[in-house]
Amino acid sequence: QERLARCGSAVELQKSGLTIKEIASRLGMSELSVKSLLRDGKFYADPGSDPDRLEKAKVAAAAMDRGATRAQFRESEGLTVPKADECWRDADVLFGEPGVF
């Protein structure tokens, strides 16, 4: 929930005209972290903007529904740990609790 709130804040700050550097200063984090928040926040606001990422999130959600662990999902899909974590997080945000983002 906290990360989702930061994603939303970063996206709103960018929409208001702030640069990544300014957003980083305002949120007290690195520019790299802000870039990650913006990437996720924009995707969560419009999942169709990245069809490949959306498809991987759907596959992760199906794995969750089957009771697979994140490690099992990563192995079955041949993903790196960071990519599997992203897919798992995306599935939770997009298909987990309704109205989270």
Q: Which pLDDT score is estimated for 96?
A: 80
Q: Which pLDDT score is estimated for 2?
A: 83
Torsion of CA 88, 94, 100, 101, to 10 degrees: 110
Give pairs for 64-72: CB < 8 Å, separation 24+: 64/88, 64/91, 64/92
Q: Which pLDDT score is estimated for 9?
A: 95
Residue pLDDT tens, the chain, 101 long:
788 899 999 999 999 999 999 999 999 999 999 999 999 999 999 999 999 999 999 999 999 999 999 999 999 999 999 999 999 999 999 998 544 44
